[in-house]
Amino acid sequence: MKKPLIRLNNIYFYYDGRVVLKNLNLDIHEGDRVGLMGPNGSGKTTLLYIIMGLLKPSSGTVEIFGKIRQKEKDFIEVRQKIGLLFQDSDSQLFCPTVKEDIAFGPLNLGKSKEEALNIVKETCDILGLKGFEDRVTYKLSGGEKKLVALATVIAMNPLCYLLDEPSAGLDEKTIDRLTNYLLNKANTYLVVSHDKEFLSRTTQKIYYIQNGTISKSVE
């Protein structure tokens, strides 16, 4: 079997001396569509931050694309190829306008201004954000911000998506649009959600995190 895209091996993580993750193991292979459920405060967001190198585990290894990642520079490639949707959209959006926020990733990956603007248009079309390009990001509604945050991730065309509560606050029609995108255009993803129906529509298996560890598959 091919090496996993993401392998967490025996991860421990503490906040202020309190254990959040303990002996946590996780493999995500190319083509995997995985859901992750668990109570509030069980460490789901922490787990995603560890994969992206935004938090460092106290012990255990983070192996991405077959390489152990430890130092800040090890995560440059990870952040280019794995797209994280933050649970809180305000953590994702930092440009004055929607267009600039969505174009930021592609420009950073070396796309021309014209290519980036095409990507902005395509991404807005996919998510029903037509006409939002010049809107001021901080004045958007919560659901609109979530959609723009999703657009910034999709615009990067990542190898793997890590989505933290992507359906939270979205209306039914928009959730359908997101579901179709994931099923038809996204190959590999890990979706954190409390929405079991959304997970059963979009994923092949659902893991459960409790007491710091991924204990079982729900389905």
Binding residues for Mg ion (CB under 5 A):
44-45, 87
- Please report whether residue 146 would count as binding ligand ATP according to CB under 6 A: no
β-strand partners of 59: 12
Identity of the residue, 41 or 110, whose beta carbon is nearer to ligand ATP in the bound complex: 41
Q: How far is the CB of 164 from ligand ATP (least distance, A)?
A: 7
User: Which of 6, 26, 37, 43 lies at the binding interface for ligand ATP (CB under 6 A)?
Assistant: 43
By a kind-dependent CB cut-off of 5 to 8 A, residue 184 interacts, out of ligand ATP, Mg ion, none, with none
By a kind-dependent CB cut-off of 5 to 8 A, residue 94 interacts, out of ligand ATP, Mg ion, none, with none
By a kind-dependent CB cut-off of 5 to 8 A, residue 46 interacts, out of Mg ion, ligand ATP, none, with ligand ATP
Identity of the residue, 135 or 194, whose beta carbon is nearer to ligand ATP in the bound complex: 194
- Please report whether residue 46 would count as binding ligand ATP according to CB under 6 A: yes
**Site residues (CB under 6 A) for ligand ATP, limited to 9-28:** 15-16, 20
SS3 for the chain is CCCCCEEEEEEEEEECCEEEEEEEEEEECCCCEEEEECCCCCCHHHHHHHHHCCCCCCEEEEEECCEECCCHHHHHHHHHHEEEECCCHHHCCCCCEHHHHHHHHHHHCCCCHHHHHHHHHHHHHHHCCCCCCCCEHHHCCHHHHHHHHHHHHHCCCCCEEEEECCCCCCCHHHHHHHHHHHHHHCCCEEEECCCHHHHHHHCCEEEEEECCEEEEECC
Q: How far is the CB of 81 from ligand ATP (least distance, A)?
A: 23
Residue 191 near residue 163, CB atoms below 8 Å = yes
- Please report whether residue 38 would count as binding ligand ATP according to CB under 6 A: yes
User: Which of 2, 40, 71, 131 lies at the binding interface for ligand ATP (CB under 6 A)?
Assistant: 40
Residues that bind ligand ATP (CB under 6 A): 15-16, 20, 38, 40-46, 87
